[in-house]
Amino acid sequence: MIQPSRRDGKTARRVGKGNGSLSLFDLTGKTAIITGGNGGIGLGMAMGMAEAGASVALVGRNAEKTRAAAESVTSQTGAKALAVVADLSKPEDVERAVAEAGEHFGRIDALFNNAGINIRKPPQDLSLDEWNQVMNANITSAFLASKAVYPWMKKQGGGKIVNTGSMTSILGSPFATAYAASKGAIVQLTKSLALSWAADNIQVNAILPGWFDTEMTIAARQQVPGLHERVVARIAYGRWAKPEDMAGAAVFLASKASDYITGVALPVDGGYLAAL
């Protein structure tokens, strides 16, 4: 069933309960928090969730950018979108952001731990402070946010947590040591939380994005000579991914369709990891 939901007159696909197995992907009435949701991969996830029927809370540090992203979600999909301004490297901000989203919508069905930073330096030039900055933003914030949503999900009888990893969850990087270490840790956090909270019907999985065309990777291409050419040569589809390429995986892992899948790290990489 396709229902009109866009203010611009276009239609967004909403899967109704009368469509058999397709109803497993319907997120109508659900609420999702997306950290780092004001741009790039996070906004691609948010758009996918909204088009599947969910209300979304976008969490970001930049107030203007986060509010603009929330307005964009609503204008393009008709879904409810809340802008939450927070610095997730600060534990008190994590608690506040989760509480704000939960109290606004009355429930939390899915959490996407997508916020992250990178400091590109050879390991010998990386200071302890820089190391800690990356770890706090990328892995500690994911742990704290997951811990904060746990009471909401347990009370509701279940939920979904999706952590954003990276190709560097599997592959090393000579110019992103702290980032790679944090993304490797994301996969182990995912597996451990999946085992810990299975009895509470909370599925915890990870998405491992390949090379997406975002602000972060634009900076990488400027800082790492030849990166663009090497990436395109290895990707089976011969192009960098777009944020909207993440929407399907996000909806799948947030929906009933993935109820028996937990502790998994799913690459969304256009075949990058399959190539020698």
Instruction: Write the pLDDT tens digit of every residue in 98-126.
Output: 999 999 999 999 999 999 999 989 999 99
In a domain, 274, yes or no: no
In a domain, 17, yes or no: yes
Listed ranges 16-20, 31-35, 214-218; the one with the highest mean pLDDT: 31-35
275: exposed, middle or buried (Cβ count in 10 Å: 0-12, 13-18, 19+)? exposed
Indicate the range of 14-23, 77-86, 220-229 predicted with least confidence: 14-23
Residue 20's pLDDT is 60
User: What value does the mean pLDDT take over residues 161-180?
Assistant: 94
In a domain, 275, yes or no: no
- The rounded distance, in Å, linking the Cα atoms of 115 and 95 is 15
Amino acid at 69: A
Residues 174-205 have pLDDT tens digits of 889 999 999 999 999 999 999 999 999 999 99
**Mean pLDDT, all residues of the chain:** 90
Please, what is the angle between helix 141-156 and helix 91-105, to 10°?
30
- The rounded distance, in Å, linking the Cα atoms of 130 and 113 is 21
**DSSP symbol at 53:** T
Tokens 């203010």, residue? 7
Determine how many CB atoms are found less than 10 A away from the CB of residue 188: 13
Long-range contacts of 167-172 (CB under 8 A, 24+ apart): 167/208, 167/209, 167/210, 167/211, 167/267, 167/269, 167/272, 167/273, 169/206, 169/208, 169/265, 170/208, 170/273, 171/273
- The rounded distance, in Å, linking the Cα atoms of 261 and 241 is 25
Give the CATH number, domain containing residue 240. Answer: 3.40.50.720
Q: Which of 34, 39, 54, 47 is nearest to 149 (CA)?
A: 34
Residue 6's pLDDT is 44
Residues 127-142 have pLDDT tens digits of 999 999 999 999 999 9
Determine how many CB atoms are found less than 10 A away from the CB of residue 182: 27
- Annotated catalytic residue, options 150, 179, 260, 272: 179
In a domain, 94, yes or no: yes
- The rounded distance, in Å, linking the Cα atoms of 205 and 187 is 8
In a domain, 160, yes or no: yes
pLDDT category at 12 given cuts 50, 70, 90 is very low
Residue 238's pLDDT is 87
Evaluate if residue 17 carries a pLDDT over 70: no
Active site residue 179: yes
Q: Which of 7, 152, 142, 13 is nearest to 72 (CA)?
A: 7
Residue 137's pLDDT is 96
- The rounded distance, in Å, linking the Cα atoms of 36 and 140 is 14
Q: What is the pTM of this model?
A: 0.88
Residue 192's pLDDT is 98
- The rounded distance, in Å, linking the Cα atoms of 48 and 152 is 23
Residue 226's pLDDT is 81
Residues 210-229 have pLDDT tens digits of 888 877 776 777 777 788 88
pLDDT top residue among 5 and 177:
177
Residue 52's pLDDT is 97
Residues 229-274 have pLDDT tens digits of 888 888 888 888 898 999 999 999 999 999 999 999 999 999 889 8
Expressed as residue numbers, the domain containing 254 is 2-267
In a domain, 217, yes or no: yes
- The count of structural domains within the chain is 1
- The rounded distance, in Å, linking the Cα atoms of 161 and 121 is 31
Residue 181's pLDDT is 98
Evaluate if residue 1 carries a pLDDT over 50: no
Residue 3's pLDDT is 42
In a domain, 276, yes or no: no
In a domain, 273, yes or no: no
Pairing outcome for strands 110-113 and 2-4: unpaired
